Amino acid sequence: MPSGISVIICCYNSASRISPTLKHLYSQKNISLRSWEIILVNNCSTDNTVEVATSMWASFADDKPNFKVVNELTPGLSAARKKGVDESFFDNVLFCDDDNWLNQDYLFLALATMQNSSAIGALGGRGIPVFEANEPPYFWTNQYHALAVGDQSKNNGDITDERGVLYGAGMVLNKSAYLFLTTKCKFNFLVTDRLGDDLISSGDHELCLALKKVGYRIFYNSKMEFKHYIPSNRTTISYYKKLFFGFGISYAILQPYRVSGKNFSYKYDYRYIIIQCIKKTLLANLKLIISGYYFKKEKHKYIDDLHGLYTNLGQIKAMLKLKNSFKKTLETQLLFTQELVNTEMATLYKKPLPVYE
Tens of pLDDT, residue by residue over 166-216, are: 999 999 999 999 999 998 888 888 887 554 445 567 889 999 999 998 889
Has residue 235 got a pLDDT over 90? yes
Specify the fold of 5-235. Answer: Spore Coat Polysaccharide Biosynthesis Protein SpsA; Chain A (3.90.550)
pLDDT at site 121: 96
Reported as a single tens digit per residue, the pLDDT across 134-176 is: 999 999 999 999 999 999 999 999 999 999 999 999 999 999 9
Q: Which residues pair with 36 in a beta bridge?
A: 5
pLDDT at site 331: 83
pTM comes to: 0.91
Has residue 232 got a pLDDT over 90? yes
pLDDT at site 250: 92
Q: Which residues of 169-205 are buried (b: 16+ CB within 10 A; e: fewer)?
A: bbbbbbbebbebbeeebebebbbbbbbeeebbbbbbb
Q: Please enumerate, as own/partner, the contacts of 292-299 that have beta carbons within 8 Å and a separation of 24 or more.
A: 298/137, 299/237
Over residues 274-293, mean pLDDT: 96
Q: Label residue 7 by pLDDT band (50, 70, 90).
A: very high
Please state which of the ranges 7-16, 254-263, 278-287 shows the lowest mean pLDDT.
Answer: 254-263
CA nearest neighbour of 202 among 146, 130, 140 = 146
Reported as a single tens digit per residue, the pLDDT across 331-342 is: 888 888 766 554
> Domain boundaries in the chain?
5-235, 243-337
pLDDT at site 342: 47
Phi/psi for 295 (5° steps) reads -115, 0
Are 14 and 80 within 8 A, CB to CB?
Answer: no
Please state which of the ranges 94-98, 272-276, 286-290, 325-329 shows the lowest mean pLDDT.
Answer: 325-329
Cα gap 206→148, rounded to integer Å: 15
